[in-house]
Structure formats: structure tokens, C-alpha cells
Amino acid sequence: ETYTFYSLPFCSSFPVEKLEHRYDWLGEVLEGNDLIASGFELRFREPVPDHTKVCSMELDEESAAQLSFAIHNHYWYQWYLDDLPIWGMVGELTTSDSDEDESQAEALLFTHKRSRCRPPDCGPRIIQVNLTSENPVALHAGAKVDLSYSVEWTETETPFSKRFDRYLDYDFFEHQIHWFSIFNSFMMAPQAPPASAQPPPPPSLRLRPASASAQLGGEAKSCLTAASAAPR
């Protein structure tokens, strides 16, 4: 199953009902994928300061329970930024790897998203994106939660034609994505950027459970996914 990112009670910098939905191709519609703009403001090559506030929300019993359920079931999301996929977990549990009973663990929600974007030394495209989820907070009724993000830009010498190569490298998933990277099988054919290429739009989002897939965005895209077990 796949769910829209805002099916969980996240707040947004814009009214959720006014965020743009996108269906890029028929296959996404048939698979039930629903890309939605993230509401994050992102401009090409313009850094976003650390812990820039997106929005604030106060949890009630229902919203705290929904987020806790998603974290206990290893829900993850997938973002797209300039067509590059990015994965992250909704939160983490306080148990150790040797603890088999996760039902008793406390669920912590990640409230800060740190993105590192790598454009080429010239040209309006993004070659690499890395996402780190930070600042976990406990979930309970009455908790006040601030969601924030930051964006850093560092140039790379990797050419546009090779920007998908890292997704085919086992070491990338073993050391960069670690256990929180889950994704469906997919095929990609790199294309040369058009001569009149414009700067990439902000990111978009979507959500899914781990047996499914997910996506994110400002205009970035995003999805949420839940897994029966989180790979290590």
C-alpha cells in the first residue's frame, strides 16, 4: 500500500488541501502513487539556514497515536528533487538492535530534515542529493512539535550523464542509506539536460509502508511507506 505524505498528521507551511498533486505518467496512477508538493521553499543554489522553521503543531491523542503507529511499523517516505529519489524514515524507536519486542519501545519523531544538494560547477541541474533526518522528539498528547529543514549546496565534478550511477552501487546503500533505505525496483535511463534547462523546482512528497513505495517535495515530491521489518 501507498499513502499520501499528509495522510499522517504533519503540518505544512501551506494549507495541505491547496498543495499541488502531480501524476507524471500513467504507471504512477495505476500503481496508486500520488505525488504532492511538499510546501518546502527551495531555490536553486540558495542555502536554507539550519533549523529553518516549516510549521508548528500540537499533538492530541489521535495524532500522537497515528504517528506512533507509523514509526512502530517502520513507515518511510520518498522525496523527489529534480527527479532524484531521496529516502528517509518517519522516526525511530528507542530499542536496541538486540531487543526483539519493539511494541514496548518509545516512538520518536524526526522533526528536522537536512538536505545536501550537489549541482555541477555550471548548469541548472542537481547531480546528487543526500537527506539526513535529525532531532527526534517523543510523541504524546499535548506535545508541541516544530518541523524544520535546512539545505546546503556544494558543487560536484560528476557529470549529469552519471548522476544515477550511485543508485546502482551497493556501497551507496550499505553506507550512505543504511537501514532506513527501502525502495521498489525501478529502471532509469539518464538523459542529457535540454539546452534551455531551467532550475529544478522545489521538492515534492509522498508516503508509504515498507511493503510499498513512497515519494517527497517544495516543489519536491514525497510518499510514505511502512515496513514489517527494517533492514539493517
Residue 138, CA atoms < 13 Å, CB-side half-sphere = 6
Supply the DSSP string of 35-98, one letter for each residue: EEE------TT--EEEEEEEEEEE--HHHHHHHHHHHHTT-EEEEEETTEEEEEESEEES--TT
Alpha helices for the chain (secondary structure H): 26-31, 61-72, 170-171
Find the helix or strand (DSSP H, E) in which 157 lies: none
10-residue mean pLDDT series, the chain (232 residues): 86 88 68 77 94 96 96 91 91 75 89 95 91 96 96 94 86 49 36 48 51 34 38 32
CB 49 within 8 A of CB 149: no
Query: Could you tell me if 42 and 57 are in contact, meaning their C-beta atoms sit under 8 angstroms apart?
Result: no
| Residue 69, pLDDT score | 95
Q: Model's pTM, two decimal places?
A: 0.73
Cβ proximity of 163 and 118 under 8 Å: no
Strand 128-138 versus strand 35-37 pairing type: unpaired
Which residue type does 135 have?
A: N
Looking at residue 58, what is its pLDDT? 97
The radius of gyration of the chain's CA atoms, rounded to the nearest angstrom, is: 17
Q: Which three cell numbers stand for residue 113?
A: 530534515
Query: 10 Å Cβ neighbour count for 92?
Result: 18
CA distance linking residue 95 with residue 89, whole number of Å: 16
Domain boundaries, the chain: 3-93+107-184+200-225
Q: Which of 11, 108, 20 is nearest to 55 (CA)?
A: 11
Angle at 127 between CA 123 and CA 130, to 5 degrees: 135
